[in-house]
Amino acid sequence: MPSKKALIRRPSPRLAEGLVTHIERAQVDVGLAVEQWEAYAEALRTHGWETIEVEPADDCPDSVFVEDAVVMYRNVALITRPGADSRRGETAGVEEAVARLGCSVNWIWEPGTLDGGDVLKIGDTIYVGRGGRTNAAGVQQLRAVFEPLGAQVVAVPVSKVLHLKSSVTALPDGTVIGHIPLVDRPALFTRFLSVPEETGSHVVLLGGSKLLMADSAPKTAHLLADLGHEPVLVNISEYEKLEGCVTCLSVRLRELYA
C-alpha cells in the first residue's frame, strides 16, 4: 500500500519578514495566513492524507514552506541546503521528522545548494531547476543520491521565477503544466500544457483526479476540470505575497515502507 502522509509546518510569527525575490513586497496578514494554513491542512486530511506537523521553526520566517527543506524519492529523504542563508535553520526539524518516519536520510553538502521547490518528480524522472537557489553542485549531489535508485535526473534552467515549481508542476498523467511567460524551456518537457494564469501552474496531486490548487486561478481550474480533473480550491493569498504556492506548504510521502 502506498503511504499517504504529508509533512506540514506551522507558520512562523515572523512570516511577514519572509524573502521575496521576483515580486514587490506586500503586507502579509499573519493571522489570516494561519487560518489559510489550517484550511490547507484540512483540505489534505479531507482527501485522505495524514498530516504530520514538523516542529515549528519560529525564528525562520519562511519555515512554513516546508517543501524547500527536503526532497523525497521513494523512502529516501535528501535534506537540502537552502540557497538563502536565512533558511538554513529550517532543515534540522524536517530531518528529525523524516528520520522518525523511517526514511533513509542523505544530505546536500557545501558548496552545493538546493531548494526542494526546484525539484519536480514525474514517475522516475526528477526535473531539477538550476536557478537562483539551486546551484550546479546541488544538482550533481541530487543526481549522486537518486540516480543509483533508478531515477533519471533532468536539469532545467530557471531564470524568470524563484523555483522550478513556481513555473511548472505536473498532472496525474505526467503532463507538465505552466504559464508560458514564466517557463524558460517548455520544450524540455515531453508533454506540456500551457495554462492561462501564473498561479494555475501549481497543483498538488491528492490522489485520483483531484488537484489541490489556489483559488486565484479560476480560468485554469475551469480548463483542468474540462479535461476531467477535479480541482480542490484553497485560498493562499498571504503565501502568494511571499512567492509561495500550494506545493510549497507540504511534502507528500507516498512510498514509505510500512
Residues annotated as catalytic are 163, 248
Contact 112, 81 (CB under 8 A): yes
Kindly state the cell numbers that stand for 113. 545548494
Kindly state the cell numbers that stand for 48. 485522505
* Cα-Cα end-to-end distance for the chain: 8
**Contacts of 30 by beta carbon, 8 Å cutoff, 6+ apart:** 11, 13, 15, 16, 238
Q: Which residue has the cell 541530487?
A: 142
- Characterize 5-37 residue by residue with b for buried, 16 or more Cβ atoms within 10 angstroms of its Cβ, and e for exposed: bbbbbbbbeebbebeeeeeeeeebeeeebbebb
Strand partners, 234: 214
